Structure 1
Amino acid sequence: MKISDLVGSATANTFRSKTRTLLTILAIFIGAFTLTLTSGLGTGINAYIDDTVTAIGASDVMAVVKTSEQDGGFGAADAGPAEYDPARVSSGQDGPPGQTVVALTPADLDTLAGIDGVLDVQATRSISADYIQVGGGTRYVVNVGGLVAGQRTPLAAGAEPDSSSSQLQLALPTSYVEPLGFTDDAAAVGQTVSIAVTDAQRTQQVIEATIVGVAEETLATGNGVVPNDALTDALFDAQNTGIPAAEAQRYAQASIWFDPAATDEQISALKDRLADAGYTGSTVADQLGAFRTVIDGIVWVLNAFAVIALLAASFGIVNTLFMSVQERTREIGLMKAMGMGSGKVFGLFSLEATVIGFLGSAIGAVLAIAAGTAISSALAGGFLADLPGLTLIAFEPVSIAVIILLVMAIAFLAGTLPASRAARADPVDSLRYE
C-alpha cells in the first residue's frame, strides 16, 4: 500500500464512528482555538510596542538616574518606611505617588558628560502643573511631559512644537480637545491655552501658550501636553520662583546621547560604565520592554491553559483509536494476512490520529482568526480608540502553521499507543476475534 493510499484510507476511516470522532475533534478545537487566540494577542500587543519604539525615535538617547541602595517610600517590600534623605527628590508625575529618587546635581551632569561613550547630557526638568484652561472655561488637571531631542510626537493634527522657537508652544493630547471646547483636532491648532503652576511661595502663576499640534496618546507619550523648550523654561522658572538656585538645580533624571550606530554590546557596555559610576541608564526600548515582559507572561499563562486542554483532548484521541482498534480487530487481522506489514498498520492508525488533530486544529485556527479579527475591530472603534494603530489581536501565518503542526504532533503522539497495539496484533488471533 502506497503512502497516498494510507492517507486516503486513514481519512476515510476517521469518520467511521462520526459521533465519537466529532467529539474528539471538538476537544482539540477548543485547545487550538485558545492557543491561536492567545498567540494572536501576544503578537498584536508586542507589534504595537515595537511600532511605538520605532515611531518615537531617539534610539540614541538613554534616561539616567542616580543609583540608590534604598527603594524609598513606605511599604517597600523588604523594609518599612524609608529613612529621610534630603538628597532625594520626587520622581515626577510619571512615577508612582510618593516615589522619590536621589537628585542629580550639576556635578552629576559633569560626571556623566565625562563617561566614555556619552556624547551629550541634558537634565530632565520635572514640572507639576495645576491645571490647563481655555479662556474662562473649565479648568482641567494636566501633566506636562516632554520629549528629548530626536524623539517625535505622533500627531493627529498640526505640527510638533519647535524647540528652536522662542514662542511658547505645545502639543495637546487628543483627549483634551473636546473637553476644552474645540470641535475637532484641527480646530484646536493655533488656539491659546493657559497653564497654571504653583511656585515655592505658594503663588499660582499662569503661563499662556499656543497649541501648534494635537498629539495621539501612545504608551510612550502618555496623556500629557508636550511643550517646546521655551515653554518648558517658562514653566520651570515660574515653578521654582522663590527657591535658592542651588535647590532649583536638582533633577530627578537626565538624558544622555550616545553614538546612533552603537551596537547592543556597546550600549550594554555603556550601561555598565554608568553603573560603575553610580548611575542607572535605560533606553526607550528598555522602558517599554517592561510592558512586553508583562504581556509575554500573561500570554504564556493563557497558552499553558490551552496546552492543558490539548493534552486532555489527546486522551480523547487515545480512547477513540483504542475503540477503533477493538472494533476493527478482524479487519486488522485480514490486512496482515494479506501481507500488510506491522509498520504500515502502525502508520495507518497514527495517520488517523494525525487527521483528527489536523481537522481540530485547522477549524480552531480559522475560527480563532475570525473571532480575533472581529474583536480587534470592535475594540479599535470603542474601548481602544485612544490607542491608534493598535491591533489587539494580530495573526502571523508562520505562528498559525506552527500551532497546527504542534497540535498534529500531539495527536500523532497520542495515537502511537493504540497504533502500536494494532501493529502488534497477531493476524491468526485477530481473525478469530468475535
Structure 2
Amino acid sequence: MRTADVVATATRNAFRSKLRTTLTVLSLFVGAFTLTLTTALGAGVNDYVTTQVASLSTGDVLLVTPAASTDTSEGPNEYDPEGRQQSSQANPLGSGTLLNDDDLDATRAIDGVDRVEPVRPITVDWIAAAGDADGKFELDVNPTSSIARSDLVAGTQLDQEADEPQILLPEDYVDALGFDDAESAVGQTVTLGYTDAANAAETTDVEIVGIARTSLLASGAGVNQAVTDLIADAQAAPGQPDAYAVAVAYLAGSGDGGQVTSSDVTSVKADLSDADLAGQTVEDQLGVIQTVITGIIGVLSAFAIVALIAASFGIVNTLLMSVQERTREIGLMKAMGMSNGRVFGLFSFEAVVIGFLGAALGALAAIGVGSAISSVAAGTVLADLPGLTLLLFEPSTVVVVILVIMLIAFLSGVLPARRAARQDPIESLRYE
C-alpha cells in the first residue's frame, strides 16, 4: 500500500464511527478554541504595549531614583541632616527616599549624561480657553510627561528646553475648549489656574503645541519644564529643602548623529549604581506590565492545555476501540503483505486527522467569535484606547496552535497504533 493510499484510507477510517469521532473532535475543539483565543489576547495586548512603547519612548532618557536598599542586617540608618530626606509616601519607582541636590550634581557629572531635570509634581486646578473665564475644566498634569513622547493627533512634541510655556492637550479637550478640530487648536493659547503655597489663586497662559491621543500608558496633559518650574516654585512651601522623588537624566548618545545606543544606557546605569542611584528607561517600566500580561495569558492558556490533555485520552479510547473492532481487518491486511510500519502509520494518521479537524474547527470558530468581540469592544468599552486590538489573530500563531494539537493527537495515537502493528495476523484472523 502506497503512502497516498495509507493517507486516504486513514481519513476514511476516521469517520467509520461518526458519533465517537465527533465527540472526540468536539473535545479537541474546546481546547483549540480556548488556546486560540488566549494566544490572540496575549498577542493583541502585547502588540498594543509594544506600539505604545515605540511611540511614547524617546529612547534617550532615564528615570533616576535613589537605589532601593535591601540590606537590613545593620539596623536603621543614622539621621543625617545633610543627607537624603524620606518621603511621606513610598516612591513606586524606587524606595521611599528622596533625591537631593547632591544626587542631581552626581548624576550630571556622569559621562554620557547631557542634563538632569528633577520631576516636580504640580497641581493645576483648571484649564480654560484664553479669554473664557466661564468655560473652566479640571485638568490632570502628568508629572513624567518629560520622559516620553506622546502619540500625537496633531502638532509637535514638547520642547523641554524652551523658555516659552507649552502644553500637550489630551484629545478630548479639543471640543470642550471650543476648538473646531485638533489642527486648529495647535498654536492657540489656554489659561491654567492653580493655587500657590500661600493659598492664593494664580493663572498662567500656555501655548498648545500638540494634541495627544488617549493612551493606556500615558494619562493627563503634558507640560514642558518652563510650566513645571513656574507652578512648582509657586506651590513649594517656604523654607522647605529641595527634595525630589524622581529626576530625568537626558543622555548624550555616542552613536551616529548623537544617537543613544543600548551600550550608552547600560554604561550610565552602571555609573548611577556606583553613586547609589538607580536608572530606568520607559521600556524598563513597561516591561513589568508585559510580564504581568504574559503571566495572566499563561494561566488562561493552562486551562486550554488541560482540555487538550483530556481530549488526548479521548483519542486513545477512540483508536483502541477501533483497533479492537477491526482486529480481523488488521490480520487480513498483514496476511496480504502489509508491513507493521504501514499498519502503524494507518492508525497514527487517523489520530492526526482527528486532531486536525478539532484544531482547525476550533481555531476557525475562535477567529470568528474573537473578531466579533474585538469589533464590538473597539466601539464600546475600548473606544478610548484607539489602536488596541483586543484579540489579534496572527496567521503564524494560529498555524502553530493547529500543529501543536495535531502533534498531541499523534502522540495520543501512538499506543493504539503500536498495538495494531504488533498483532499476529493468524490470531487476528481467528478473532471473533
1:251 is aligned to 244
Matched, 1:226 2:222: yes
2:45 is aligned to 45
Question: What code does the residue aligned with 2:221 have?
Answer: V
1:424 is aligned to 422
Aligned-partner Cα distance in 2 for 1:152–1:112: 23
Q: Greater shift after overlay, 302-311 or 101-110?
A: 101-110
C-alpha displacement of 1:419: 0.9
Write out aligned runs for 1:332-347 (5 A): 332-347=330-345
Aligned-partner Cα distance in 2 for 1:59–1:191: 29
| Structure 1, unaligned runs of 5 or more | 72-84
- SS of 2:113 mapped into structure 1: coil
Q: 2:299 aligns with which of 280, 288, 301?
A: 301
Aligned-partner Cα distance in 2 for 1:359–1:417: 20
Query: Does the C-alpha gap of structure 1 residues 269 and 191 become closer, same or farther in structure 2, counting only changes over 3 Å?
Result: closer
Matched, 1:25 2:32: no
Q: 1:235 aligns with which of 231, 236, 254?
A: 231
What percent identity do the matched residue pairs reach?
49
2:165 is aligned to 168
Question: What code does the residue aligned with 1:229 have?
Answer: Q
Write out aligned runs for 1:109-124 (5 A): 109-124=104-119
Question: What code does the residue aligned with 1:200 have?
Answer: A
Q: Greater shift after overlay, 415-424 or 188-197?
A: 188-197
Write out per-residue CA displacement over residues 25-79 of structure 1, whole angstroms, 9 at most, x where no aligned residue.
11101101111111111111111111111112411211111124389xxxxxxxx
| Structure 2, unaligned runs of 5 or more | 72-82
Write out per-residue CA displacement over residues 122-179 of structure 1, whole angstroms, 9 at most, x where no aligned residue.
2222212233345313542523445337x43212234444445544331211234455
Matched, 1:361 2:354: no
C-alpha displacement of 1:184: 5.1
Aligned-partner Cα distance in 2 for 1:195–1:210: 11
Query: Does the C-alpha gap of structure 1 residues 89 and 157 become closer, same or farther in structure 2, counting only changes over 3 Å?
Result: same
**Scaled by the length of structure 1, what TM-score is found?**
0.87
Q: Greater shift after overlay, 106-115 or 312-321?
A: 106-115
Query: Does the C-alpha gap of structure 1 residues 265 and 334 become closer, same or farther in structure 2, counting only changes over 3 Å?
Result: farther
Aligned-partner Cα distance in 2 for 1:341–1:276: 71
Write out aligned runs for 1:47-196 (5 A): 47-69=47-69, 87-89=85-87, 101-134=96-129, 135-148=133-146, 151-163=148-160, 165-179=162-176, 185-186=182-183, 188-189=185-186, 192-196=189-193
Matched, 1:280 2:278: yes
Write out per-residue CA displacement over residues 221-251 of structure 1, whole angstroms, 9 at most, x where no aligned residue.
22x11113332232222222x523x62x322
Question: What code does the residue aligned with 2:310 have?
Answer: A
Aligned-partner Cα distance in 2 for 1:275–1:206: 41
Aligned-partner Cα distance in 1 for 2:380–2:324: 55
Query: Does the C-alpha gap of structure 1 residues 70 and 334 become closer, same or farther in structure 2, counting only changes over 3 Å?
Result: closer
Query: Does the C-alpha gap of structure 1 residues 260 and 20 become closer, same or farther in structure 2, counting only changes over 3 Å?
Result: farther
Residues 126, 252 of structure 1: 8 Å contact kept: no
Q: Greater shift after overlay, 177-186 or 395-404?
A: 177-186
- SS of 2:96 mapped into structure 1: strand
- Root-mean-square deviation (Å): 2.8
C-alpha displacement of 1:417: 1.0
Query: Does the C-alpha gap of structure 1 residues 161 and 360 become closer, same or farther in structure 2, counting only changes over 3 Å?
Result: same
Aligned-partner Cα distance in 2 for 1:281–1:371: 44
1:77 is aligned to none
Task: Number of aligned residue pairs: give it.
Answer: 414
Write out aligned runs for 1:395-434 (5 A): 395-434=393-432
